Amino acid sequence: MKICNRFFLASIVMVITLSTTMSNGDELIGKVLKTTGKQVEIELEGELIPQIGDEVIIGFNMPSVGFIPLQGKWRVSAINADTIKADPDEDTRQPQKDQIVKITTQNPLSGKAMAQDAENLYEKAEDYFNGRKGENQDYVKALAFYHKAANMGSLEAMNSIGYMYGTGNGVTKNSTKSVEWFRKAAEQGHADAQRNLGIMYENGWGVAKDNKVAVQWYLKAAKQGYAKAQRKLGIMYENGWGVAKDNKAAFEWYLKAANQGDTVAQNNLGGMYFHGTGTAQDYQKAAQWYRKSADQGDETAQKNLGVIYANGWGVAKDNKVAFEWYLKAANQGDAAAQNNLGGMYLNGTGTTRNDQKAAKWYQKAADQGHAMGQYNLGTMYEDGRGVPKNDAEAIIWYRSAAEKGYSNAKKALIRLGQ
């Protein structure tokens, strides 16, 4: 009984101390939603929001006594869309879920006002990042405004900070911090941050490589209808990365993304129809999906559409149209299209024959390491077509192609005594 009396006496003293501490400023009330160690996530009553650094006291109510605080204090460390987080400011007791939270704040904001302020800060950051609305591009200033917006709960800003740490724009590149910021937004449901976090796990950037975890994050974003994540899931299923290989599932995810206009998914879906992978083979549907992607400027789809027209698969054969699509893709740097374009100039297929232009496009493909392009460039030097005859140069290109396993190049080297 004496122990109990001393406990109540101590509790009364703590209540008096709390009343004195919290007399200056507004008092916000809430409860502990969950704990991570001694860090707490808090749900507040009403619409008022505290400031970063505001004092937090956690405790519980006892009948006939009132509010009894735990030992120590916390400080607001993060303000998110629906909750806030607080970290211990001094040695504290372990808080528990559903315990009462009281926060002293000098300048509370309404939730709506804060959201608007966060949005304004985010837009200012975007102005500096993109160099728009009269602002010069300045990554350092952009990062500063992203941080201000993130501290007020902007998930877009958190995601953007993760991107900046990942690329090293305006800050020293730091993949670990990039992951931390992506995670802050991803755990609160931001779809692009979830996809970005998946990419970090897929590549082992800032975290241990883990395709299974990558798939989990892609799935969270994909279920929100996010096309880029749906496309990533398609790739994971098609290759069996982090999941059992499943071409039907890959096809379904590609289709969801493609129907939203994702160009890569449209091209990949065309490929699945072309090869009959995960669905029945259908050249006409392959051509349709390649066309959708190609019309949006995807160079791989443009090259694929060139192949479709050159061979008359699912469309009427038309070498002039094939040439046009190869040219579009080649001008965007697609090495296979550059090689194919070289062949069309060499043979006068779909265009006027021109050995010099053939050699030029073979050279572009060869410079990118395209084995067939390297072999074809070697033949141009060996035969002196479009370039001066030069067996030594031909051997160099044949050797490069042979090292990549190109059999015709190996035969050419034998023919030249190499």
CB 103, CB 50: distance < 8 Å: yes
> Where would I find the H helices in 259-318?
263-275, 283-295, 299-311
CB 88, CB 38: distance < 8 Å: yes
pLDDT mean over 308-337:
97
Q: Assign 3-class secondary structure to 376-410.
A: HHHHHHHHCCCCCCCHHHHHHHHHHHHHCCCHHHH
Q: Of 128 and 325, which is predicted with more confidence?
A: 325
Tokens of 209: 């490589």
Cα–Cα distance measured from residue 344 to residue 354, given in angstroms and rounded to the nearest whole number = 9
The hierarchical CATH code for the domain 2-107 is 2.40.10.170
339-379 pLDDT, tens per residue? 999 999 999 999 999 999 999 999 999 999 999 999 999 99
Q: Which residues contact 64 (CB under 8 A, 6 or more apart)?
A: none
Token look-up 């995960």 returns: 278
Cα–Cα distance measured from residue 129 to residue 144, given in angstroms and rounded to the nearest whole number = 11
Q: How confident is the model at residue 296 (pLDDT cuts 50, 70, 90)?
A: very high
Q: Domain extents for the chain? A: 2-107
Q: How confident is the model at residue 5 (pLDDT cuts 50, 70, 90)?
A: very low
Cα–Cα distance measured from residue 274 to residue 282, given in angstroms and rounded to the nearest whole number = 6
pLDDT mean over 86-98:
84
Using the Cα atoms of residue 171, residue 177, residue 179 and residue 185 in order, give the sign of their dihedral: negative
DSSP 55: E
CB 368, CB 377: distance < 8 Å: no
- How far, CA to CA in Å, does 197 sit from each of 44, 98, 107, 242? 29, 30, 34, 15
CA-angle at 397, arms to 391 and 402, nearest 5°? 115
Summary mean pLDDT of the chain: 89
Intra-chain end-to-end CA distance of the chain, in Å: 101
231-281 pLDDT, tens per residue? 999 999 999 999 999 999 999 999 999 999 999 999 999 999 999 999 999
- How far, CA to CA in Å, does 341 sit from each of 149, 316, 387, 391? 50, 19, 17, 24
Q: How confident is the model at residue 19 (pLDDT cuts 50, 70, 90)?
A: very low
pLDDT at 404 over 50: yes
Cα–Cα distance measured from residue 125 to residue 150, given in angstroms and rounded to the nearest whole number = 11
Q: What percent of the chain stands above pLDDT 70?
A: 91
Cα–Cα distance measured from residue 324 to residue 318, given in angstroms and rounded to the nearest whole number = 10
Which range, of 122-136, 208-222, 379-393, averages the lowest pLDDT?
Answer: 122-136
CA-angle at 194, arms to 155 and 278, nearest 5°? 145
Select from 237, 283, 284 the least CA-distant residue to 256.
237
- Cβ-count burial of 318 within 10 angstroms (0-12 exposed, 13-18 middle, 19+ buried)? middle
